[in-house]
Each structure stands twice: as structure tokens, then as C-alpha cells.
């Protein structure tokens, strides 16, 4: 029995990732519509509706401000949903993981494969919204393409955090607590819908302890044709969340499934 907190990383996660991709291709259309439709609805409804009341934020139209936030939040929601509901289904209900463990794979490979697949879905969802934003004229230049690797890193971090919840959950109902107590506060306090400087200083400090605000701080400048500042700091925080959550989720799942 493996007791080390550090996961055993190897390229054996790729077959797990590929297996999920092949299954997803069979339900690709409804999956894309589900992950893509709601963020675009938020973008259009809030951007055109609420944006008429807000007006411009300095020199930045509210629609442009919102587009970058929606891309970040979409990555968070997609990775979190896949890392919880879909991964839990394969682990507990369909017993897919049991079958995978009969192959030359270990549990660490499966966990990493699930997390990377969730990150990939987050990237696909965010890319689709980025295309829509570009078609609406909300993207300044090609610097916006540099947001894609940041989205992949963010998807990895959010998926790894979601996998911790999956490791602790005994039913689907448990996931509602995570969405209510973690995902929703991050959505509201990370500069997705309004600038952080509108909040009290204490809230701003607390917000910077969360990963989503750091994703927004990097991607928003790229979307509006500027270069972000403190990039290394922001990406380090997101990467730290992902690596710590990967280690913890792997350890918890070993205890749950291998003991």
C-alpha cells in the first residue's frame, strides 16, 4: 500500500485521458452546448443588459471587462464539474476505475488522467467563449491567444481541488457544499463581474488568497491588448494550488480505494 503523500507521476495518465476523450466524443454536442451555453448567456445578458446601466469602467467597456471574467469563470466551473460529478460517476457508479486498475496502471495514473482531462475540457470551453468574444469584437489582438495556456493551468488547479472533494464525497449531494462555499464566493470576489477595487481592503486581501483572482489578473490584460504584471506571482499561486491539491487528492483516494 502506498503511503507517500507525493503522487507517482508518469506518462501512464495519457491512456486514461484518451479513454475519457473517446467517450466524450460520443456525447460531444450536448456536452459542448452545456458547458458553452450558460457562460455565453451570462456574457450576453450581463454584458448587454447590465452593461447599459454600468457603462464604461474607465476606458474599458463593461462588455469587454466581463468577457475576460466569463472565460476564467467558465474554466473554473467546467473543470470543477468534471472533476467532481463526472469523475465520481466513473469512480463510484460505473466502476470504470476498477477496470482501469486491471490494466498496467496505478491509482496515481488514474487521478492525474482525470485531472488532466478536466483541465482539457476547461480549455475547450474557454476557447469556445474566446472565439465568441472575438466575433463580438471584444478581443483586442492576438495576445489573447496567450490566455489559452493560462486557462489550461487554471483548469488543472480547479480540477485538482475538485478531486479532493470527490475523494471525500459519499454522494452527489456533497458537491453542492463545495459549489456553495467555495466556487460561488470565488466567482463573486475575484473580479469577474466588477473590479476588485470596489471592495473593502480586507475582502481584496482575502480574494487574493483564492486562485481565480490570479487567473483573472493574467487573462484580462491579455484580452484587452495589454501585458499583465506580476505574471510569475499569479501563475505560481495557481500552480501551487494545483500541485498541492493533486498530492492531497491522490493521497485521499489511495486511503479510500486501496485500503
pLDDT for the residue numbered 241 = 97
Q: How many angstroms separate the CA atoms of 151 and 124, rounded?
A: 9
pLDDT for the residue numbered 172 = 95
**CA dist 181 → 158, 176, 188 (Å):** 14, 8, 12
Residues 121-158 have pLDDT tens digits of 999 989 988 988 888 888 989 999 999 999 999 999 99
**Domain residue limits, the chain:** 13-257
The cell numbers describing 130, all together, are 474566446
Residues 236-254 have pLDDT tens digits of 999 999 999 999 999 999 9
Between 37-41, 94-98, 148-152, the lowest mean confidence (pLDDT) is in 37-41
Kindly tell me if the per-residue pLDDT of 58 is higher than 80: no
- Give the DSSP per-residue string, 71-119: HHHHHHHHHHHIIIIIHHIIIIIS-HHHHHTTSS--HHHHHHHHHHHHH
- Cβ atoms within 10 A of the Cβ of 230, count? 12
Q: How many angstroms separate the CA atoms of 74 and 82, rounded?
A: 12
According to DSSP, the residues that pair with 57 across neighbouring strands are 60
Q: How many angstroms separate the CA atoms of 224 and 70, rounded?
A: 14
The cell numbers describing 148, all together, are 489559452
pLDDT for the residue numbered 2 = 46
Amino acid at each position: 500500500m502506498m503511503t507517500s503523500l507525493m503522487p507517482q507521476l508518469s506518462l501512464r495518465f495519457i491512456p486514461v485521458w484518451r479513454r475519457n476523450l473517446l467517450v466524450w466524443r460520443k456525447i460531444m454536442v450536448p456536452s459542448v452546448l452545456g458547458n458553452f451555453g450558460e457562460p455565453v448567456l451570462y456574457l450576453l445578458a450581463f454584458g448587454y443588459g447590465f452593461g447599459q446601466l454600468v457603462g464604461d469602467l474607465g476606458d474599458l467597456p463593461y462588455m469587454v471587462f466581463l468577457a475576460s471574467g466569463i472565460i476564467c469563470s467558465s474554466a473554473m466551473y467546467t473543470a470543477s464539474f468534471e472533476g467532481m460529478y463526472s469523475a465520481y460517476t466513473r469512480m463510484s457508479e460505473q466502476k470504470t476505475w476498477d477496470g482501469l486498475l486491471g490494466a498496467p496502471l496505478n491509482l496515481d495514473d488514474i487521478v492525474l488522467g482525470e485531472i488532466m482531462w478536466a483541465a482539457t475540457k476547461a480549455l475547450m470551453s474557454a476557447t469556445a467563449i474566446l472565439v465568441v468574444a472575438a466575433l463580438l469584437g471584444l478581443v483586442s489582438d492576438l495576445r489573447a491567444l496567450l490566455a489559452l495556456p493560462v486557462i489550461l493551468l487554471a483548469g488543472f488547479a480547479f480540477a485538482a481541488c475538485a478531486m479532493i472533494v470527490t475523494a471525500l464525497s459519499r454522494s452527489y449531494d456533497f458537491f453542492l457544499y463545495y459549489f456553495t462555499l467555495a466556487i460561488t464566493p470565488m466567482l463573486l470576489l475575484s473580479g469577474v463581474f466588477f473590479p476588485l477595487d470596489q471592495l473593502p481592503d480586507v475582502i481584496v486581501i482575502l480574494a487574493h488568497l483564492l486562485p481565480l483572482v490570479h487567473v483573472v489578473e493574467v487573462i484580462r490584460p491579455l484580452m484587452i491588448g495589454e501585458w499583465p504584471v506580476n505574471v510569475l506571482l499569479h501563475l505560481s499561486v495557481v500552480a501551487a494550488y494545483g500541485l498541492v491539491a493533486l498530492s492531497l487528492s491522490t493521497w485521499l483516494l489511495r486511503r479510500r480505494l486501496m485500503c
